Every structure is written in structure tokens, then in C-alpha cells.
Amino acid sequence: MIRSAGALILSLLLLLVPSVSGAVLYIDINAPGGKRMPISLPDFVVTGGDAALARDLPGVIGGDLAMTSLFDVIPRQAYLERIGPEHFLARPLSFPDWKMIGAEAVVIGKVEVQGDQMTVEMRLYDATLGNMMAGKKFSGPVRRFRKMAHEFSNEVLYAFTGVRGIFDTEIAFSARPKKGRGKEIYVIGLDGRELRQVTDNRSFNLFPRWSPDAKLLAYTSYRTGVPQIYMRDLAGGTDRLVVRHGNSKSPGSFSPSGDSLYATLSVGGNSDIYRVSLTGSAVRKVVGGWGIEVSPSVSSDGKRVAFVSDRSGSPQIYVKDIGSSGERRVSQAGSYSTSPSWSPAGDLIAFTSLEKGRYAIYTVRPDGSDQRLVISDDGSCIDPSFSPDGRYLVYTLQKRGYSELKIGSVDGRWQRGLFRGLQAVGSPSWSPRQ
């Protein structure tokens, strides 16, 4: 999550009893189609401030959990018990009442507001065993209430699956502003809220790429008339030019250590892939040849790079073991394949391919095996980017005169809209966990 001056201060005070040392596995996250966990999210107790927080906070948590397809949120009209301040003192929940309506888990919360600051205490209970599974206390500006809710959604998912959540991650993308020309870089939350414009130079700004610590965004800008790669410090709001070698340039991905950027540079009229040091002036060619090599995506262990080359006559996806001469084509889906994105575990590469006049998204193993069509629509699906847990892809859906960001599961079982409202939306990039 992006930090800025005066941003949210999270106290993250752990309220778990000492005997609870780790996650209790109730849900197998890798078993699609299994039983969903019924969970209740009653209104939070609010002291001072906006009374709407009573429903806004549990509403955010409910939306997060629904995205996983692992939880069913029980409608609040079915609830038999009303949560009050006494439940955060000595009074236990009436677990038989929650079990009567089918709930196996209950989340309660208490909000204290003073001016523009708030403290939120949230607790997760197992309604069957009657014990508290997780509890956290957050403090910060009222305007960051969604951040607090997302953080607790991560706690709920971990408590039931042992898997860290991604609800507080964000998506960077480029789009045409409502007033003006060109394209700017934007960032939006995983729930499609809290849209922020990152650049504002009335030029073309493209291909945002996150650093491993999510504090920086590399992107291409035409602000000087020629494409250059800039690095935006998201906390300070400052830019710096990071690549001076070559002509036209575009970023591909950061090295896992964050000290280098894999980028496409045009030198002498030919586009090849280079590793550019961000702490010095070192520039090293990684992939070259007579064809055009673009769009590098580096594996999480830093040992392999996926890229696009037209050496076979049309753009296709290749993989190279960095430091060796061996390169292999892995895409066999269609006549035109591009935009590789490496999964965090390193076991899959997602990419876009053209077949029968329409672009769709495929995945393939790094050795070229097990190629699968995972996302298609009544328009073109392009530019996939993996989530930090490897379970989802963000991508752009394009139709004539229309585009939007969408999220789909890697197994192809579902897709949902993330954001619409700007034109020429493209190049989404999913932030790392924080």
C-alpha cells in the first residue's frame, strides 16, 4: 500500500490470546467449488463521527471476502443479536443465536472518532467453538477507513486458510483523463475505489511498473517529445529520469531485489532488452538479436525472463535463462502473442494472444507445456498482470470505443469488473503485498 506524509498510522495491536500461534485451517483455498464459509458482519459500534461507518466498514470486509468465492455473507436482516459496546468489555456474544442463522464466523467492530482521527477495533470469532480467532486495533485518519477494513479482511482470510490476503493491494494503469489529451498514470484500490491520479503532465504516460516494495512506479513518458523512462516516488510525488542509454524506451519489470530495471531500449534502430542499474550507470544487454525484443517480465527468483520477439515472423512469447544463451518459444496459442506476466510462484506465464480476430488471455508453463485459455470475452482481453498471491489476473477489456479494467481468476472460473469511467484504459500492473 502506498505511504505518504501524514498517512495512516497502523498500530496493529494483536489481541489474540497467547495460545493461538497460527492460522487454523478451515478452508482449502485450492479446492474450487467447495463449501463456502457462512460469515456474519453486523453493524459496527460507532462513537462519534459519521454514523455511516457502522455499515461502511463491514461492507468493505464483506466485499473483499466475496471476491474470494470462499465466503457467504449472511444478510443482516437475519441477525438475532445486536452488537453493543458491552461486547468489547466483558459480555460474550450469543453464539447460539449466530449458529441459529447458519453463521460459522462473526466479525464485530467498534469505532471511536475524534475529529478527523479514528480508532477501530475489529474481532473475528468462530461461532461454533465460541473463541476469538483474530483481533486488531487500527488508528489513523477517518478518510483511510477502507485501508483499515482491507487489512482486517486479510486477517480473516489468513485465519481460515493460512494464506495471506491481498485486499490492501492496488492496481496502477494508464488512461486518458476526462479533461485533456494524452494519457496519465492512475492507481486504484482492489475494490475499485479510491482512484488517484499519479501523473499530470498532459503527455502520454504509459506502462506503469511497481517496485518490489511498492514505493516506486517506473513508467514511460513522452513529456519531452521522446519516450523516456521515469521513476515516481509515490510518497514524495517526485520523478527522476532513470535510463539515459538508447533512444525509445519502455520498462518491463523490476529485478526481485529492486536495484535494477529490465527495460526495452532502442539502440541503433533495433529494440533489445537490457538490465539497467538504478543505483549506478551500468546497462547490460540481456536479450538481443536481429528481431525486435520487447516487454520483459522477470521471474520472482530473478533467473529467467519472459519476453516478446518477432524472430519467428510474428510476435510470440519466449523464455530465456538469464546468463545463458538458450531461448525457447513458449506461446503456441495464436498468430500474435504479447504482454507476458510471470506468476509470483514462477510456475506460470500469462500472456495475450490473437485468435479468430479477438485477443484472449492464456497461461503456459515456463517450458511451454500446459497452455490454457483462461479469459475471453465479447471484446479483446489484453495486458494481464498477476496478483501477488498468483490466484488472479487484472486485465483490460477493450471493445469499440470502450475499455475497462477487469479481474479474473487464473482458473478461468469467474471475472468481475474493477473500474470503468475513463477512456483508453490500459497497461494494468498489480502492486506487491506490503
Q: What is the per-residue pLDDT across 219-237, written as a single tens digit (0 to 9) for each?
A: 999 999 889 999 999 999 9
Strands lying side by side in the sheet with 349-355:
336-342, 349-355, 358-364, 372-375
Residue 9: C-alpha distances to residues 117, 123, 142, 421 (Å): 10, 19, 11, 31
Q: Do domains 37-161 and 170-430 have the same CATH topology?
A: no
DSSP state of 45: E
Q: What is the pLDDT of residue 13?
A: 36
Q: Which one is the CATH code of 170-430: 2.120.10.30, 3.40.50.300, 1.10.10.1100, 3.40.1280.10?
A: 2.120.10.30
Q: What is the pLDDT of residue 8?
A: 38
Give the residue extent of every domain in the chain: 37-161, 170-430
R_g (Cα) of the chain, nearest Å: 23
Strands lying side by side in the sheet with 415-419:
380-386, 392-399, 402-409, 415-419
| Strand bridging mode 71-73 / 37-40 | parallel
CA dist 383 and 425 (Å) reads: 11
Q: Is the pTM of this model over 0.85?
A: yes
Query: Can you list the residues of the chain whose pLDDT is less than 70?
Result: 1-25, 30-34
Residues contacting residue 82 through CB under 8 Å, at least 6 positions apart: 42
DSSP state of 202: S
Identify the CATH homologous superfamily for domain 37-161.
Answer: TolB, N-terminal domain (3.40.50.10070)
| Strand bridging mode 131-141 / 105-114 | unpaired
